[in-house]
Chains A and B, each alone.
Chain A
């Protein structure tokens, strides 16, 4: 049962433009959400997170938006750079549960073209 879904397996965007990655979840108990970035042959690296008490969190070029009523979150990357080409995973957890138990989506492959 996939509780976190990333319905777009891939995304192509021009350098300098905005990349928007989407993620939907089904478990209303989730109260913490994270985005990870993964290059080939490397482990995922943490990008940005958001708690369910917020609807937006920004860190440099990365902004995550949370819409709890729609059980939807999105990651915006502005402006997109060639080094952003990677697989992006959305993850969710219940903070009162074990922090280690992150539920991940299947990932979105982002390709930034010159």
Chain B
């Protein structure tokens, strides 16, 4: 069974540019969440999508957005990139939003903003 797939694995962008990251959840999983990991900050929740609807959003500026498609694949977009956006972006999928449903993480996309 394939795991959560995130593309690309590594990305270098310039300040001011925008970037789109992709996440393909495990087959049959309908919930996708995004997290930002920076040194010393742990994983910060960005947003969660279920059935193409954003269910919850973390404390990030409006430059961070996302969407989910009918096949449950999700994309997140960051516009007007800042140096501080350099981080590992992790996607996690769950079968549904029921209690005790384990989240499976992808390997992440390492974004470097220069």
Chain B residues with Cβ under 8 A from A32's Cβ? 100
Those of B35-67 within 8 Å (CB) of chain A: 35, 40-45, 48, 50, 55-56, 58
What is the 8 Å Cβ interface bit string for chain A, positions 38-64, against chain B (1 contact, 0 not)?
Answer: 000111111001000000000000000
Whether the pair A100, B92 counts as a contact (CB closer than 8 A) is: yes
For the side of the interface on B, what is the size category? 20 to 34
Are B42 and A100 touching (Cβ within 8 A)? no
- A44-B43, A45-B105 given as contacts; is B55 within 8 A of A100 (CB)? yes
Most buried by B among A6, A42, A98: A98
Chain A proximity of B40: nearest CB distance (Å): 6
The stretch of A10-18, A70-78, A103-111 that contacts the partner chain: A103-111
A104 to B90, CA, bound (A): 13
**A30 cross-chain contacts in B, Cβ below 8 A:** none
Within 8 A of A (CB), among B58-114: 58, 90, 92, 94, 97-108
Cβ of A45 to closest chain B Cβ, rounded Å? 7
A32 to B103, CA, bound (A): 13
Nearest residue in B to A103 (C-beta to C-beta)? B45
Q: Which residue of A lies closest to B106 (CB)?
A: A43
Q: Which residues of A contact B31 (CB under 8 A)?
A: 99-100
Q: Which residues of B contact A43 (CB under 8 A)?
A: 4, 90, 92, 104-108
A106 to B39, CA, bound (A): 8
A89 at the interface (CB under 8 A from B): yes
How near does chain A come to B58, taking the closest CB pair, in angstroms?
Answer: 7
Contact of B45 with A102 in the complex, beta carbons under 8 Å: yes
CB pair A89–B42 under 8 Å, yes or no, is yes
Q: Does B33 contact A (CB under 8 A)?
A: yes
Which A positions have Cβ atoms within 8 angstroms of B? 2, 4, 6, 32, 36, 41-46, 49, 89, 91, 95, 97-107
Top 7 A-B pairs ranked by shortest CB distance?
A43-B105, A100-B48, A100-B33, A98-B56, A104-B43, A106-B42, A104-B42
